[in-house]
Amino acid sequence: MKHLHQIPILIVTIIAALFPSALTYGQRSDDQVISVGANIGNVPWEFQDTQGRFVGFEIDLINEIARLMGKEVQIVNIPFNGLFSAVQSSRIDVAISSITITEERLKSVSFAQPYYDSDQSLTVRSDSPVKTVNDLRGKIVAVDTGSTGDIWTSENQQKYAYKEIRRYEGLAPAVLDLEIGRTDGYISDIPAMQYYTKDKTGLVVIERIKTGGSYSMMFAKNSALADEVNEVITSLKRAGYINDLHEKWFGTRAEATTSTAKITAMPGATDGMELNFVDTFLNEEVFLTTLPMLLLGLKTTIQLGFISIVFGLLVGLALALLRLYAHKTIGFVAKAYIDIFRSIPLLVLLIVIFYALPFVGINLSPFNAAATALIIVSGAYTAEIFRAGIEAIPRGQFEASQALGLGYRHMMIEVVLPQAVKIVIPPLTNNSINVIKDTALASVVAMPDLLKQATQAQAIAANPTPLIAAAGIYLALLLPLVLYVSHLEKKYKSREYA
């Protein structure tokens, strides 16, 4: 099926959020299992060791909590920005991933008491001229989408005058781009970066950024499990277990005044607000607040889609003509191109172009990388559409053109292509719709398209309303085109039998 891999990630996310029984990250067998969402790769909190086992500070903590509760733990790997909708839709019971407690998040989710106090940090290459955040003026800064670093960097963009903020889905791609030199600094949680860079000579944490954040486990709003877990955390603090974990993973014991050792109140415990469907998925306040972000993303999506469609059509037409009428060798090359790039998933090609090409000296921006991948794949599909249209022209049309003394160029421009274009307009329009939908995949390379802006907004607000709004925008943009394709198909079919 040609377009199965092209279903927008956004729509899958929305369906999973609204119908958790239909699409789940993991299957919970009974009440004795705690389903835990974690952004695996977030060292030293949750990551995989050389044997593939899940390990880390928070993995140890949640396993001990479950043991004391007489339950088992099921770890589910979820990107950080997906953790919020996952707990709200009950696909998971609890989320961990060094999640900072904020007043905005407390409106939509619940937290147990904190167990780690943290700040942000600035990490750069060892040979970088950047020495403090004040040196980031005119520079490109990397952050994790929807993280505390993202929030702090966005709030201080005017103050420090960054050239651009690039948002990544986790530490690994952000650090890779920093090492390549595509970004100038990475703002993220300081414990994670100090742990990660301790054996990386090419990277150095140069500054602690005071934000006063505290980490805890996240639950659905007013979840009964949050109260149970909070009580267990209290007992573990009294027993010194959490401080033992601090010593295990960070090499020292935490001070008695920190939330690692000190028993504190459960954040927002007195807030009795119950979130209904409208408050959770159709929150007017969240929508109005995040609408400017979504419109900026829509602008980028339209620009990327337009460029990819236009150049994809040109590449496709050229490939179709080369395959049909060029020298046998050139035709074979054109056919190979078409077959290869119709076989490679767009997401794989996009990642290769963005992350692999810099190692051979080709360093493309997120927009250019996404446009290149879309044009390459769209051109391959478009070529087959044009080829089918040209071959559908009756052979007599070619013979009549030759009988009239028309040269190849005039025959194609004046006789063949005008008829072929009428045949291929419906499938070309359908392909254009798929190209626009595929722009959503560009979010994986830190491009601020509509999906990327929506996921950032929902992570910051801890509310899936921006994703619902983005789905509505995609629908408003693409539904008229879908209906137009149906109209064209009926129109040309009726002419065919007239």
Asked if the peptide bond before residue 345 counts as cis, ω within 30 degrees of 0, the response is: no
Domain's final residue, options 281, 303, 334: 281
In this structure, are 219 and 75 located in the same domain? yes
Higher local confidence (pLDDT), 401 or 428: 428
265-292 mean pLDDT = 76
Residue 198 confidence (pLDDT): 86
Residue 24 confidence (pLDDT): 42
In this structure, are 369 and 240 located in the same domain? no
> 133-137, 233-237, 283-287: which range is least confident on average?
283-287
CA dist., res. 273 & res. 222, Å (int): 8
Residue 186 pLDDT > 50: yes
Residue 3 confidence class, pLDDT cut points 50, 70, 90: very low
In this structure, are 231 and 163 located in the same domain? no
Residue 20 pLDDT > 50: no
Residue 474 pLDDT > 80: yes
Residue 286 confidence (pLDDT): 87
Yes or no: say if 317 and 386 are a contact pair by the CB < 8 Å rule.
Answer: yes
Domain housing 463: 286-496
Q: What is the CATH number of the domain that holds 204?
A: 3.40.190.10
313-333 mean pLDDT = 93
Candidates 88, 26, 168; CA nearest to 467 is 88
Output the pTM of the full model. Answer: 0.76
Residue 22 confidence (pLDDT): 40
323-348 mean pLDDT = 94
In this structure, are 465 and 484 located in the same domain? yes
In this structure, are 59 and 94 located in the same domain? yes
Beta bridge partners of 38: 77, 96
Share of the chain above pLDDT 70, in %: 91
- What count of other Cβ atoms lies within 10 Å of the Cβ of residue 244? 13
Domain's final residue, options 212, 242, 266: 212
Strands 33-38 and 72-77, by their bridges, are parallel
Residue 379: exposure state from Cβ atoms within 10 A (0-12, 13-18, ≥19): buried
80-99 mean pLDDT = 91
Residue 133 pLDDT > 90: yes
Residue 242 confidence class, pLDDT cut points 50, 70, 90: very high
Yes or no: say if 264 and 114 are a contact pair by the CB < 8 Å rule.
Answer: yes
CA dist., res. 137 & res. 231, Å (int): 46
Residue 274 confidence (pLDDT): 56
Yes or no: say if 119 and 213 are a contact pair by the CB < 8 Å rule.
Answer: yes
Beta bridge partners of 117: 214
CA dist., res. 263 & res. 321, Å (int): 73
Yes or no: say if 338 and 383 are a contact pair by the CB < 8 Å rule.
Answer: yes
pLDDT in tens, 298-309: 999 999 999 999
Residue 460 confidence (pLDDT): 80
Terminal CA-CA length for the chain: 32
What is the DSSP-derived secondary structure letter of residue 254? P
Q: What is the CATH number of the domain that holds 474?
A: 1.10.3720.10
253-281 mean pLDDT = 78
Residue 30 confidence (pLDDT): 63
With a CB cutoff of 8 Å and minimum separation 6, the contacts of 375 are 307, 308, 311, 312, 315
286-292 mean pLDDT = 91
In this structure, are 93 and 180 located in the same domain? no
In this structure, are 263 and 312 located in the same domain? no
- Per the prediction, the chain carries an average pLDDT of 87
27-51 mean pLDDT = 86
Residue 138 confidence (pLDDT): 96
In this structure, are 207 and 322 located in the same domain? no
Residue 205 pLDDT > 80: yes
Number of domains in the chain: 3
Residue 396: exposure state from Cβ atoms within 10 A (0-12, 13-18, ≥19): exposed
> 129-143, 276-290, 333-347: which range is least confident on average?
276-290
Residue 167 confidence (pLDDT): 93
Domain's final residue, options 160, 179, 212: 212
CA dist., res. 173 & res. 444, Å (int): 9
Q: Output the six-digit token pair for 315.
A: 């590449």
Residue 449 pLDDT > 80: yes
In this structure, are 369 and 422 located in the same domain? yes
CA dist., res. 162 & res. 137, Å (int): 5
3-state DSSP assignment of residue 454 = helix
Residue 9 confidence (pLDDT): 45
H or E element that contains 52: none
Helix%, strand%, coil% for the chain, nearest 5: 60, 15, 25
> 113-122, 230-239, 255-264, 478-487: which range is least confident on average?
478-487
In this structure, are 298 and 429 located in the same domain? yes
H or E element that contains 495: helix 465-496
- What count of other Cβ atoms lies within 10 Å of the Cβ of residue 277? 8
In this structure, are 389 and 465 located in the same domain? yes
Residue 493 confidence class, pLDDT cut points 50, 70, 90: low
- What count of other Cβ atoms lies within 10 Å of the Cβ of residue 267? 21
Candidates 223, 261, 32, 219; CA nearest to 111 is 219
In this structure, are 378 and 418 located in the same domain? yes
What does the DSSP assignment read for 401-419? HHHTT--HHHHIIIIIHHH
Residue 270 confidence (pLDDT): 44
The sign of the CA dihedral 437, 439, 445, 449 is: negative
470-487 mean pLDDT = 88
